[in-house]
Structure 1
Amino acid sequence: MSDKSFGMDLGTNSFKLYRKGKGIALHQKNIIAIKNAKEITAYGDEAYDMYERAPESIEVSFPMIHGVIAHFQNMQSLLRMFMNDHSLRLASVGKRDYYIAVPYNITEVEKRAFLDLVAGAGIRARQIFMVEKPIADALGAGVPVEEARGVMVVNIGADTTEISILSLGGIVLSKLLHIGGNQLDDSICSQVKKKYNLIIGRKTACRLKCMLACAFNDEEIFKSPRKLRPVSLDRKEEKTANEEGQEAEVVTAEEVPTTMVILGRDIITGLPMRKEITYQMVYDAISEYLLTIIDAAKVILERTPPELAADIIHSGIYLTGGGSRIHQIDTLFEEHLDLKANLVENPEESVIRGLGKIMETKEYESLAAVMKL
């Protein structure tokens, strides 16, 4: 493998880049802002700060939907901007190898779009490799996927949930659901509108989810100790707080807020309005989606060969993706599936960490497939 190798996880919500020998080099929002349909005014975290705040002349959009490329030109422009980011200092780097993580349950046409995206972006691609996301995900979670034993991974991402059974470096079963953090945010928006005649944006709904979402409608469970992430409407403030170590802050039951005050627009008066939202309301908005994910996991388990199922009983399920941060979601899986549920550190980065392992470790080379340009 070349030392000039890069791994890319093009998520619906965020773009992550791994540089061989140096680790994760970039982790930004996968979003672009275009003025008058032709001029790129911002991208990444800077564009996210403009999301839901920009005038009509500026389109702020996520080019990835349900894990695949929905707006090819926008995604190609965004990829070019990311790879030319001055912080990466790639001007002197010549031809490069790229490793792309792709969902398992997508069509050949959708897979080809990832290849065309990188090949045509003008970022000096020499060879392009594809790695199935569930495999990279499991490796990033610290699971030895090459062994002859069954592994179950549930990745709850921004726009999809991918449930997979792995063994011997391959995927035995996999199911892709169009349920993720975005759908939970939309449901919270609908619930607030229905209950309080209040219109809020996705950013506000996301803050409610991060602060108040719990897998159980029980105050004692809700107030059990957890790690609270710093959540801000300003992506830069949130990023700075994470870098300062606030992400690992553990709060006790007495410190856990059960409500959160938000601002929105009253449907009847049309005026700005302040409202206090409870964790119970957030639970009502998201619980049906969580149970749908669990039902899908049950279906996969029912189809799993008995020997692999025995392995999974021993090792449990691995929960990854940003959705696995929902408080007590591991307990919900354990109660419904009667299996141990393992949480992963920094679950949003499990796929890109797995790509890094494939790039850095010779024994994992066979997990990446070369694509013809």
Structure 2
Amino acid sequence: MKINFKTVFSSIISIFILLGCYFLIKNIPYFTPPVILVIEYTSYVILGLGIALSIRFNQGRVFLITLLLILSELFLNYYLELSRNNSTFSQDLYSLMCLLIPLNIFTILHLKERGLFSFWGKIRITLLLIELFVIYKIAISNNSSIQKVLNYQFINLPLERTIINQTALAIFLFTLIYFIIKGYVKNSVFEVRLVWVIISIITALYFINDEISFSIFLSSAGIMLIISIIEDSYSMAYLDELTGIPSRRSLRENLMKLGNKYVIAMIDIDFFKKFNDKHGHDVGDDVLKLVASNLVKVTGGGKAFRYGGEEFTILFPGKSMNDVLPHLEKLREQISKSGYTRKLSKAQSSKSKRENLSQLFVTISIGVCEKNSTYKNSSDVIKGADKALYRAKKKGRNCVSK
């Protein structure tokens, strides 16, 4: 299992947010009444901002989770009012909400992005509202059988202070473990962020009878979701969706940061169109991912970008031509030896009477150019690298040309 920097950094940020909540709660006695009043309603502001941002950036799953939290807070604050008059009604409402939140977050995670206000988006929002209405109706029914199920104890736990029922705790625990496994094993930053969102929600529910603490920890969940929106928006803007490496937009920004000494390499996959036509676009996409995964490992201080189609670019800031050529030769050789394993169809497999696997190999051509008196700016250097790439193609491909 390989944990990447993004998942670790995401966890560190979330831990600092939770620690900030803890120290904020510790200092509540020192705050003036107006400040405390602001803190009580901060969660609504933060979750409202999360809803606005998720609509702006078309983040359907985050929108549904944030909507769930803000509606749940409204219901649970209603619970606090009810607890003063009807303890059975309020306890049932709270227990049902504790079940609703983790089950919905788990379900939302597995939904595909289909737009916020498309047909499917409206159905999802409607179903969420129906769930809340059904929970309200169940709570006011004051059914003894439902109360028995909600308060059923599987094991005796030394947690007398908690009012979260064991069924809800079990669902929260299962959801948390699932997100941990999926997030850290598959290096999915969104699931890692949801791990800490769940922890924030559990903590908020634990402090349901303390309005300030409840609001603060729900605010932390909202902040984490907002960070997730920002991270996803950055990825869509600056990372290539297919290969996961920086896109052409990111390349343009990096070109503006270059100094007076640098080298640019333009890379093209040899015969990619014929390869794509022969084996299909799905295999072609996998090959692009394979090449990109090798390009990001380039040594010598280079940074890889997807330029477009089957073309890639590598920047070498502060380097000369002689500095980078050995590293590009090493990269070219590495890719030529990196075979892509594809599964054959049943017909192909039976005809060949071999294992149901086939190795495909691709090569790349590289054109290199450095900034000098002839190529004075980045656009000139890119044009020079393109000309060198054309020469590499004329030489027979699978080579580096300068």
User: In which range does the TM-score fall when normalised by the shorter chain?
Assistant: under 0.3
Q: Under a length normalisation based on structure 1, what TM-score does the superposition of the two structures give?
A: 0.26
Higher strand content, 1 or 2 = 1
Higher relative contact order (CA 8 A, sep 6+): 1
- Of structures 1 and 2, the larger Rg is shown by 2
Higher helix content, 1 or 2 = 2
